[in-house]
């Protein structure tokens, strides 16, 4: 069989009023994918059965950052991740991510979950460089151009 199997997830390109992008450094001990580096990523995760993508997005932002108020979301793009991840059944799958821009008011403190070890606000150019560890070049170029 030549067909691939994919999981679908959502990611939030969280932006504040200063045009900074929120990134979270992944706790490599919690990864289901094959990585030896605690890389930077955007908040997000898998869509639950019957859940709408926008609801999954807001749930993941709240779970991973403590941010409760997201006042605007818009689908930016869809990205196929080259890394393979293990599903709960042990089968390795590809990953398709729906990436949304999510606008928030500036918050004083990010409350990261145990899935992450650090958070930071970055310019689009710096965020693009940090995301290049996981994401394809076409996607990181798009992030770098955000104004």
Q: What domains does the chain contain, in order, with CATH numbers?
A: 6-144 (3.90.79.10)
pLDDT band at 138 (very low <50, low <70, confident <90, very high): very high
Q: Is 121 helix (H, G, I), strand (E, B) or coil?
A: strand
Closest CA to 123 of 11, 15, 10: 15
Q: How confident is the model at residue 109 (pLDDT cuts 50, 70, 90)?
A: confident
**Residue 3's pLDDT is what?**
83
Mean per-residue pLDDT, 64-69: 92
φ/ψ of 110, rounded to 5, equals: -95, 130
Confirm whether pTM is higher than 0.85.
Answer: yes
- Would the pLDDT of 46 be above 70? yes
SS (H, E, C) 23-87: EEEECHHHCCECCCCCCEECCEEECCCCCCHHHHHHHHHHHHHCCCCCCEEEEEEEEEEEEEEEC
**Is the separation of the CB atoms in 41 and 113 below 8 Å?**
no
| Spatial contact of 56 and 146, defined as CB atoms under 8 Å apart | no
């Amino acid at each position: 069989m030549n067909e691939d199997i994919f999981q679908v997830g959502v990611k939030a390109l969280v932006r504040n009023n200063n045009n900074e992008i929120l990134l979270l450094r992944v706790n490599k001990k919690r990864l289901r994918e094959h990585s030896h580096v605690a890389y930077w990523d955007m908040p997000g995760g898998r869509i639950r059965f019957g859940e709408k993508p926008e609801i999954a997005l807001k749930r993941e932002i709240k779970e991973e950052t403590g941010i409760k108020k997201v006042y605007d979301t818009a689908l930016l793009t869809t990205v196929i991740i080259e890394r393979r991840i293990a599903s709960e059944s042990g089968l390795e799958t590809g990953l398709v991510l729906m990436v949304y821009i999510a606008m928030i008011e500036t918050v004083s403190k990010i409350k990261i979950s145990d899935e992450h070890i650090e958070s930071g606000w970055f310019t689009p150019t710096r965020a693009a460089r940090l995301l290049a560890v996981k994401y394809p070049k076409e996607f990181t170029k798009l992030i770098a151009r955000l104004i």
